[in-house]
Amino acid sequence: MSSLLTAFIASLFLTFLIIHSRLSHENHSGDMADAGIQKLHLVTIPRVGGIGIFFGLIAGLTLHIISTPYESITWQLPLIASIPFAIGLSEDISKKVGVRIRLMAVAISACLASYFLDLKISSIDIAGIDYLLSFPGLTIAITVFAITGLTNSYNIIDGLNGLSSMTGMLAASCLAYLAYRLGDTTLLFLSLVLLAAILGFFILNYPRGHIFLGDGGAYLIGFWIAILSICLSYKHTQVSPWFALLINAYPVTETLFTIYRRSFYKNSSAMDADRLHLHSLIYRRILHSHALKTENKFIGKNSKAAPYLWIINLITLVPAILWWDKTGMLIGAFIIYFTVYLWLYKKIISFQTPKWLLFK
């Protein structure tokens, strides 16, 4: 418990310091209001919230290692996770690190994690695909692809106050619950220490948006969640591999649909930024008004948007907790979620938003 409290306090304190010293570093760490088409704020805000989370993790893990017997993953995971965090933070500060370079760094980290942590996606409980996964080279390639993709997906959904960080906390909570059920104290601690570190940041990010998560923070959360998700089902074969997908259904669905939408529908690069993510549409089509002229009003509408998606996440999070060992039920839950996502997206994009969503 003391390690978790340390992670929370360290994250909260460092995040607080970053916010209250912003005038001395905002030329480097700040997210300018006119810096891109996806910006939903009027003033410069620090976008290096990942620093607080990272050092919160390090503080909590260090105390845990000093005071408790531990497995090697306890120090290997933060060491490897520092790579995607660092490359993301470099982009947050310089604004000059391209998407391809960042993805390459994340992929290298995924390779290192697969090798040193002995992580593999060796089954998805579908006969034909499981046969293909029996080939080691293909197994490693899919594992690296999955880790890289999920890591990036948490960055893609980082467009509203509290959205990516709460999504990460919900996923970490599910992982912690199941690790507890299975008696896996190492994965339980690694899930809870992430949750504690994110919470220290979240308190100052939501609802007022005093600081943003940034690419570094989003990559750190996504990578950590990806590793623990794969590790849980690989170590405990009774856990359906679809559990990992269900607790990350929102970022995964958003990423896959974004790639399809940009590449095939818009005939543009999948890496081009736009304002057509589901969270962007909820903000702009349901909550936003051209009458918003002050930062406080922008923040108010921004912070009302994320809970829509937190609630929709329950479509997959609840089944994941209830039926973590039943692949058929989890596949069905994912199909329902994906259908609801597409239906809702189509309704909002075509200006046919259901009336029950029009809460302002």
> pLDDT by residue (tens digit) across 237-253?
999 999 999 999 999 99
- At which residue do the structure tokens 């209001």 appear? 33
Beta-carbon contacts of residue 142 (< 8 Å; ≥ 6 apart): 121, 133
pLDDT at 48 exceeding the cut of 60: yes
Query: Which of 10-24, 119-133, 247-261, 265-279 is predicted least confidently?
Result: 265-279
Over residues 264-309, the pLDDT tens digits come to 776 666 677 778 899 989 888 887 655 555 667 677 778 888 999 9
Mean pLDDT of 169-176: 98
Query: Which of 18-32, 70-84, 110-124, 290-304 is predicted least confidently?
Result: 290-304
Spell out the domain ranges in the chain.
2-357
215 marked ligand binding residue: yes
pLDDT at 360 exceeding the cut of 80: no
Helix (H) or strand (E) holding 350: none
Structure tokens at 243: 């559990």
Query: Which of 134-143, 211-220, 266-275, 296-305 is predicted least confidently?
Result: 266-275
Structure tokens at 137: 């080279």
CA dist 151 and 222 (Å) reads 4
What pLDDT score does 70 carry?
84
pLDDT at 353 exceeding the cut of 70: yes
- DSSP conformational letter for 70: -
Of residues 37 and 94, the one with the higher pLDDT is 94
Q: Which of 215, 245, 251 is nearest to 229 (CA)?
A: 245
Pinpoint the alpha helices (H) of the chain: 2-20, 26-29, 50-67, 73-94, 99-116, 127-132, 136-156, 163-182, 185-205, 214-235, 242-247, 249-260, 278-281, 295-322, 327-349
Q: Which of 330, 311, 309 is nearest to 319 (CA)?
A: 330
Structure tokens at 178: 């199941």
What pLDDT score does 69 carry?
85
Query: pLDDT-derived band of residue 113, with 50, 70 and 90 as boundaries?
Result: very high
pLDDT at 229 exceeding the cut of 90: yes
Mean pLDDT of 124-134: 90
In the chain, what percentage of residues exceed pLDDT 90?
72
Q: Which of 89, 346, 345 is nearest to 223 (CA)?
A: 89
CA dist 297 and 299 (Å) reads 5
CA dist 98 and 102 (Å) reads 6
CA dist 131 and 285 (Å) reads 45
- DSSP conformational letter for 285: I
Cα 15–chain centre separation: 18
pLDDT at 310 exceeding the cut of 50: yes
Mean pLDDT score of the chain, rounded to an integer?
A: 90
CA dist 145 and 31 (Å) reads 30
